[in-house]
Every structure is written in structure tokens, then in C-alpha cells.
């Protein structure tokens, strides 16, 4: 059954919502396997900085954003510089403003009591899957375009796996030693390359990606700290606006 057919079945028969949830789980599983290695890396690094097996899941469960957690762990000292870590966390997570804005038009039919939990468990992977599915449903003329059960099936496994395997990394880190020696860190860029490939629609639409990449890389090399995240996001947004005139 195609995505459009499955979505149409959901719209016509609300009692079959579990099938949409399972479709979300199936769509997320290949990418989900890729986040496990760097969840273990984060947990092990957190344990090396002195965080306990209880503190690690509190961190990863309350601040569900891997990039900012890696940055926070790199900055962690005893005692920790709370304001610095909070500022860097906000800076690294600033991309979520753009991600939420892209998803917002598809969420307008949902009450806030459903939107806020959905956004809380949003990560790069579930956002990409949910947005791509909503666009496919919209192109097929399905209403509503955004399938909340599908999104839940895609997002919740990421959240649970992230908390569980960062905790496992914290518990196993002292036994395994430096887990980065196993090449687990390569999983992080590999997952994002897969997500980018899934969203690829042609070079013209990808030009803002290239601009964002170049600006972020140059900022990373020149400016200390995590400013490359904001620079990449802002340059990508501006270039997307500028290039949009070429497609009109």
C-alpha cells in the first residue's frame, strides 16, 4: 500500500489510526538504527564528565536535542558554567525555530494540547519524516495533510531510543572505554546525509543548503564557539528567500 492509500484509509476510517502509527514506526526504523551509536557516544562522554546514570536520562529526556547536548557535555566543568551552557544550548537549538515554522502550517487544525507534545518530541529526524509525509499527503489532496498518528509513530521511538541508549552509554562507558574508537561518531553525519537525500528535489531547491553549508563551515573555522549553527541557519533562510524569486 502506498503512503497516499494508507493516509486515505486513515481519513476514511478513524478507527484504523494504529495502522498510521505503525507506518510511522516503519518509516523511522532505518534512521532509528543510525542514532543508537551516537546516543551511546553521548552517554559515555557524559559519564566521563561525571554525570551519573540517573542524571544522563534526565538531561536527554528533558532537553531532547542531541546537538546541544553534545555541546553542553564539551563545555561541562565542575562546577558547571550554567549560563554559558544554557546560552550555547539555546544557540544550537535555534534551528528548531525554523523547523517549527516549516511544520506550523500543517498543524493549524490541531489543538494546542496535541501540538505542544508533538513539538516537544520533535527532532531533526522526526521533523524530516513528518514534513515529507505531510507534503506527500497534501500533494495527493488528502485533508488533513498532517497525520498525527504517523508523526507519533515516527517521533516517539526516537525519543525513547535516545533516552534509553544515552543511559546505556553512561552505564557501559567505563567498561568500553573511549567508544569513539569504534567509529560510532560517523553515525551522526551519516543519518543527516540520509535525511537530506530523502528531501532532495533537485539542485535548484538545494542551493540554500549549499550556502548554509559553506557559511557554517567558514564560521566554524573562523569564529570560536557554536556560532556556526546560527550562521548556517540564518544564511540558509536568507538565501532561500533570495532564490525563491528565481523559481517564480
pLDDT 10s digit of each residue in the chain, 248 long?
343 443 333 343 443 567 999 999 999 998 888 788 888 888 988 998 888 999 999 999 998 888 888 888 877 877 778 887 888 788 778 778 878 888 999 998 899 999 999 999 998 889 989 998 999 999 988 888 999 999 999 999 999 999 999 999 999 877 766 666 666 666 666 666 666 666 666 777 778 878 888 998 999 899 887 677 778 878 877 887 787 666 54
Task: Please tell me the pTM assigned to this model.
Answer: 0.73
DSSP the chain: --HHHHHHHHHH-GGGHHHHHHHHHHHHHHHHHHHHHHHHHHHHHHHHTT--TTHHHHHHHHS--HHHHHHHHHH--SS--HHHHHHHHHHHTTHHHHHHHHHHHHHTTS-HHHHHHHHHT--HHHHHHHHHHHHHHHHTT-SSSS-HHHHHHHHHHHHHHHHHHHHHHHHHHHHH--GGGGTGGGHHHHHHHHHHHHH---HHHHHHHHHHHHHHHHHHHHS-SSHHHHHHHHHHHHHHHHHHHHH-
Instruction: Please give the Cα distance from 81 to 178 (Å, whole number).
Output: 25
Amino acid at each position: 500500500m502506498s503512503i497516499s492509500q494508507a493516509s486515505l484509509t486513515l481519513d476514511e476510517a478513524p478507527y484504523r489510526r494504529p495502522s498510521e502509527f505503525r507506518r510511522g514506526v516503519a518509516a523511522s526504523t532505518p534512521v532509528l538504527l543510525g542514532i543508537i551509536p551516537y546516543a551511546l557516544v553521548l552517554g559515555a562522554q557524559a559519564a566521563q564528565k561525571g554525570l551519573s546514570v540517573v542524571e544522563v536520562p534526565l538531561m536527554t529526556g528533558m532537553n531532547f536535542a542531541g546537538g546541544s547536548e553534545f555541546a553542553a557535555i564539551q563545555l561541562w566543568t565542575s562546577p558547571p558554567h550554567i549560563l554559558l551552557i544554557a546560552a550555547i544550548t539555546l544557540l544550537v537549538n535555534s534551528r528548531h525555530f525554523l523547523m517549527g515554522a516549516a511544520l506550523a502550517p500543517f498543524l493549524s487544525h490541531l489543538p494546542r494540547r496535541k501540538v505542544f507534545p508533538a513539538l516537544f518530541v520533535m527532532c531533526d529526524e522526526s521533523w524530516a519524516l513528518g514534513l515529507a509525509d505531510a507534503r506527500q499527503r497534501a500533494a495527493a489532496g488528502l485533508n488533513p495533510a498532517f497525520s498525527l498518528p504517523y508523526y507519533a509513530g515516527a517521533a516517539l521511538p526516537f525519543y525513547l531510543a535516545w533516552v534509553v541508549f544515552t543511559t546505556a552509554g553512561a552505564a557501559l562507558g567505563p567498561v568500553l572505554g573511549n567508544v569513539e574508537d569504534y567509529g560510532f561518531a560517523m553515525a551522526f553525519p551519516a543519518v543527516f546525509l540520509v535525511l537530506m537525500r530523502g528531501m532532495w528535489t533537485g539542485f535548484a531547491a538545494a542551493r540554500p543548503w549549499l550556502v548554509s553549508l559553506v557559511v557554517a563551515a567558514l564560521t566554524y573555522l573562523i569564529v570560536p564557539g557554536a556560532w556556526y549553527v546560527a550562521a548556517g541557519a540564518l544564511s540558509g533562510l536568507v538565501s532561500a528567500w533570495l532564490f525563491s524569486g528565481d523559481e517564480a
